[in-house]
């Protein structure tokens, strides 16, 4: 039986492959680069060095988007360049780390060989990984239900080659049904069993809002034959990283977000928030007088700017930032900023570009008004507007707002209702799927956003 892996399992296998490649690379580096005997190659601090390297390189790949499933459709040369970039950046970061933490030092020859072997082995592992999934692990998928939703989903899938989905076709009881581009019409819903058996279907995607009685029996028969049954909303969510709000109703929120307050996750998240905010305050505090002086010299007005924002359960709190605009910039209740906004000061443009204006929010995190990762809090007037215009907008306030979030690393800065509508899809995805791993991924990708200047943090 051919192994079928979903998106998360493919990513996990890619990360695991990288770590195994690094373990082998480190063993080779010690064998060829260390002059001592076998015992000398196993000094305890080498183990710590390996542990740090094994975390550092995958972390860098996350930052440079090296674990995107788009790479399954990437030309091999570009893939080689991506791995090379990740290893070089990791080598530079490791060199800086070793300078400050001598206990992580390894012989120079071992270090250089480790990076070289890592580049070669990670590239080889990924090549065979991609070849395997391209050749053997394509899902044969049958769409069943609404004709228009099936066609919309087909467009989504066919635009992403890395998914390795083979759409066998669609079934529907709607009149005047016909084949659509690369999506053949295979018949009525009652022919599901025969189509599944004939075409070797691995997964049936139900593409209608409510399952009628006519669908239940054939779906149960498919389940008995070990065919996976999936709702189309879940497929869209997994492919895009967004929840398809257009197709949601109140029942979805009750069922999918009923476990949003995960106790142990909250304790772990809060512990990380407190530790990081304390470290951030200690690091930033010595620089604050200099930055404050520059802000005062650049334009008249206070150093800090505060504004009422809407937080968890709709409660308001004051968010703090370094002032980046002229005094009273929002006196006319204008909260959206635009490109080349005349209200932004010269120093403010730089602070915004490197996201340094957000540093005072370490205090908000320490107080518990905000967290490191979560939906960004909006001003009261904007929340009132969005709640009127966008269905289910208020549901994003089920969790504590964050300094950065899933929407911020995946979408541009928004200055319209339509932008807020798109960001809500990302926010709901985060609320539904949040865990420590997703938080770490968001934090690492935030570093990329800060470096490149792209994003909405």
For 291, other C-beta atoms within 10 Å of its C-beta total 17
Average pLDDT, the chain: 85
Tell me which of 135, 159, 182 is where a domain ends. Answer: 135
Q: Is residue 307 located within the same domain as residue 221?
A: no
Q: What is the dihedral of CA 422, 423, 428, 433, to 10 degrees?
A: 110
pTM of the model: 0.81
Q: Is residue 390 located within the same domain as residue 283?
A: yes
Q: Is residue 104 located within the same domain as residue 148?
A: no
Q: Give the whole-angstrom CA distance, residue 62 versus residue 438.
A: 11
Q: Is residue 121 located within the same domain as residue 146?
A: no
3-state DSSP assignment of residue 71: helix
245 domain-assigned: no
257 domain-assigned: no
Q: Is residue 370 located within the same domain as residue 446?
A: yes
239 domain-assigned: no
Which of the two residues, 177 and 257, has the higher pLDDT score? 257
Closest CA to 89 of 406, 373, 447, 372: 447
Tell me which of 105, 135, 165 is where a domain ends. Answer: 135
Q: Is residue 210 located within the same domain as residue 95?
A: no
What pLDDT, in 10s, does the model give residues 37-82? 544 455 455 777 778 888 898 999 888 878 876 655 566 777 788 8
Q: Is residue 192 located within the same domain as residue 270?
A: no
Q: Is residue 173 located within the same domain as residue 126?
A: no
Identify the band that residue 6 occupies on the pLDDT scale cut at 50, 70 and 90.
low
Give the pLDDT confidence score for residue 317 in this predicted structure. 97
- 1 pLDDT more than 80: no
User: The domain containing residue 186 runs over which residues?
Assistant: 139-232
Tell me which of 9-18, 277-286, 333-342, 386-395 is least confident: 333-342
Give the pLDDT confidence score for residue 48 in this predicted structure. 75
Split into its structural domains, the chain has a count of: 3
Q: Is residue 306 located within the same domain as residue 365?
A: yes
| Helix axis angle, 44-63 to 108-136, nearest 10° | 50
């Amino acid at each position: 039986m051919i192994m079928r892996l979903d998106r998360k399992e493919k990513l996990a296998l890619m990360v695991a492959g990288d770590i195994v490649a690094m373990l082998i690379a480190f063993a080779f580096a010690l064998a060829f680069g260390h002059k001592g005997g076998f015992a000398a190659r196993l000094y305890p601090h080498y183990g710590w060095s390996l542990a740090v390297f094994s975390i550092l390189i995958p972390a860098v790949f996350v930052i440079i988007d090296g674990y995107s499933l788009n790479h399954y459709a990437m030309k091999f040369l570009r893939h080689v360049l991506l791995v090379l970039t990740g290893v070089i950046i990791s080598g530079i970061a490791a060199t800086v780390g070793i300078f400050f933490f001598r206990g992580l030092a390894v012989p120079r020859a071992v270090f250089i060989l480790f990076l070289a072997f890592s580049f070669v082995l990670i590239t080889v592992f990924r090549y065979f990984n991609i070849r395997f999934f391209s050749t053997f692990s394509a899902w044969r998928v049958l769409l069943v239900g609404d004709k228009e939703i099936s066609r919309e989903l087909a467009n989504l899938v066919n635009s992403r080659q890395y998914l390795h989905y083979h759409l066998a076709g669609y079934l529907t009881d709607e009149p005047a049904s016909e084949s659509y581009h690369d999506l053949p019409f295979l018949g009525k819903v009652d022919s599901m069993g025969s189509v599944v058996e004939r075409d070797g279907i691995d997964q049936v995607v139900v593409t209608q809002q409510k399952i009628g009685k006519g669908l239940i029996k054939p779906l149960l028969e498919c389940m008995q034959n070990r065919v996976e049954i999936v709702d189309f909303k879940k497929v869209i969510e997994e492919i895009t990283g967004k929840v398809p709000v257009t197709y949601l109703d109140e029942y979805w929120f009750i069922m999918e977000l009923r476990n949003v307050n995960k106790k142990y996750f909250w304790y772990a998240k809060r512990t990380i928030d407190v530790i990081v905010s304390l470290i951030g305050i200690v690091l930033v505090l010595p620089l604050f007088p200099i930055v404050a002086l520059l802000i005062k010299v650049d334009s008249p007005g206070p150093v800090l700017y505060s504004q009422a924002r809407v937080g968890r359960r709709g409660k308001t709190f004051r968010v703090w930032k370094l002032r980046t605009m002229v005094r009273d910039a929002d006196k006319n209740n204008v909260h959206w900023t635009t490109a080349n906004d005349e209200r932004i000061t010269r120093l403010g443009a730089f602070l915004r570009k490197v996201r340094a204006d957000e540093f005072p929010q370490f205090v908000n995190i320490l107080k518990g008004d905000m967290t490191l990762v979560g939906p960004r809090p909006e001003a009261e007037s904007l929340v009132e507007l969005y709640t009127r215009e966008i269905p289910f907008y208020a549901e994003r306030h089920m969790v504590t707002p964050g300094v950065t979030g899933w929407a911020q690393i995946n979408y541009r800065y928004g200055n319209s209702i339509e932008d807020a509508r798109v960001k809500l899809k990302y926010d709901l995805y985060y609320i539904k799927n949040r865990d420590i791993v997703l938080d770490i991924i968001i934090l690492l990708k935030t570093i990329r956003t800060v470096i490149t200047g792209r994003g909405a943090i």
